[in-house]
Amino acid sequence: MTIRTRFAPSPTGMLHVGNIRTALHNWVWAQAQGGEFWLRIDDTDAERSEERFVDAIRADLAWLGLTAHGEERQSARFALYEARFAALRAAGRVYPAYETAQELDLKRKIAAGRGLPPIYDRAALALSDADRARVEADGIAPHWRFKLDHDTPIVWDDLIRGPQKFDAATMSDPVIRRADGSWLYMLPSAIDDAEMGITHVVRGEDHVSNTALQLQMFAAMGVAAPAFAHEALLVGSEGKLSKRLGSLGVEHFREVGIEPAAVRALLARIGTSLPVEPLVDTAALVATFDFAKFGRAPARFDEAELAGLNAKIVHQLDFASVAERLPAGMGAAEWEAVRPNLSTVAEAADWWKVIEGPIDAVRDPADADFLAAAARHMAAMPWGADPWHALTAALKGETGRSGKALFLPLRRALTGRDHGPDMKALLPLIGRDRAAARLSTI
């Protein structure tokens, strides 16, 4: 059996970090099992779906490195839904209902007032053919509900949550189709999972009750259900569900210089017993992915943790992988020299300006004689493979300075900064002429 997962976003907006985590886990599981990861665009809501969001979803997945084996679109599968719907109707598993939204709301309030759960009372099943004809003659079109089997317990072994059990009698028959003929999420999703041969569905724990309902739909269609893994939802660093999580996506990550590898490394591991590590290669994430290591507590997403992880990822990136994003003229030597001091690749441009100049040198008047001596030594000494240590050794011998008093004035004069890359690597890149000019400038 080919393992097949899917990511099924609705193109009604941009992907956010929670969506990305779901897509990643479906992709990683498929990779771990030598299977296939499919993208399904759930665009049955024609009024809210937009093609620009379809393009954005594809672009986001590509940036993350989550390549899909294939793609399906629900808007191209309506004939399939009609056929399944007709078969379920003929089997008595779907039925028309005529209550308005206001009438249903009133029923819920009455049930609540009596201390009863807000479950649909199946009043529509008591209507005769004449009753239905009379209602429709008044211009009221039906919406359609799936009839749950109250006599069969709903059970499954969730890959994360373990054994699950629901009593169908405590649940409302779900509406699967609106009065205008448009489809809601539940039935088309189940039909597509069956027809596409989806073997595993990884999604948030807010879908657990949907899974219970859809398992009866799979049974009613006479098809095998996928295995389900419901993961704990993401929360903000403060431990609460955060509106900000709904606005964080690939566009934001790219704007602040986050690498795709950092997003993958964090989202693959948070909420599990595995440590979050700065893994550039997805192979390590794939090899260690295990639903048994997922916890039940909410997974905390912390932007500060992501930023720290990103810096560690950047420190591993070789020149070839970043060359197109570096300033013109910046080569491998310059990249390797500044890389340990970067939090994002974009910051390399700042250090390229330091190397190329001009810079705003920082000078303490008390260091004037010391820097003049440095300029003299710079002009006279051989320019070998390690001019920094040659210069500082000569100055230490002449002035008796050491430690911060020796190194900081030189760094400030040569770079305009108090901190930065190792001067042993940086000074040869600045070059003798530029270095001498910076030391001698008053």
Tokens of 210: 């949907």
For residues 57 and 11, the answer to whether their CB atoms sit within 8 Å is yes
- Rounded CA separation 193/42 (Å): 12
- Radius of gyration for the chain, computed over Cα atoms and rounded to the nearest angstrom: 32
Tokens of 2: 């080919």
Closest CA to 250 of 7, 18, 10, 8: 18
By DSSP bridging, strand 234-235 and strand 299-300 are: parallel
Tokens of 382: 């051989």
Q: Is 243 annotated as a binding residue?
A: yes
Three-state secondary structure of the chain: CCCEEEECCCCCCCCCHHHHHHHHHHHHHHHHCCCEEEEEECCCCCCCCCHHHHHHHHHHHHHHCCCCCEEEEHHHCHHHHHHHHHHHHHCCCEEEECCCHHHHHHHHHHHHHCCCCCCCCCHHHHCCHHHHHHHHHCCCCCEEEECCCCCCCEEEEECCCEEEEECHHHCCCCEEECCCCCECCHHHHHHHHHHCCCCEEEEEHHHHHHHHHHHHHHHHHCCCCCEEEEECCEECCCCCCCHHHHCCCHHHHHHCCCCHHHHHHHHHHCCECCCCCCCCCHHHHHHHCCHHHECCCCEECCHHHHHHHHHHHHCCCCHHHHHHHCCCCCCHHHHHHHHHHCCCHHHHHHHHHHHHCCCCCCCCHHHHHHHHHHHHHHHHCCCCCCHHHHHHHHHHHHHCCCHHHHHHHHHHHHHCCCCCCCHHHHHHHHCHHHHHHHHHCC
- For residues 302-314, one letter each, b for 16 or more C-beta atoms within 10 angstroms of the residue's C-beta and e for the rest, the string is bbeebebbbbbbb
Tell me the C-alpha to C-alpha distance, in Å, between residue 321 and each of 79, 254, 345: 46, 16, 11
> Residue positions in the annotated binding site for ATP?
243
Which residues belong to the annotated binding site? Answer: 243
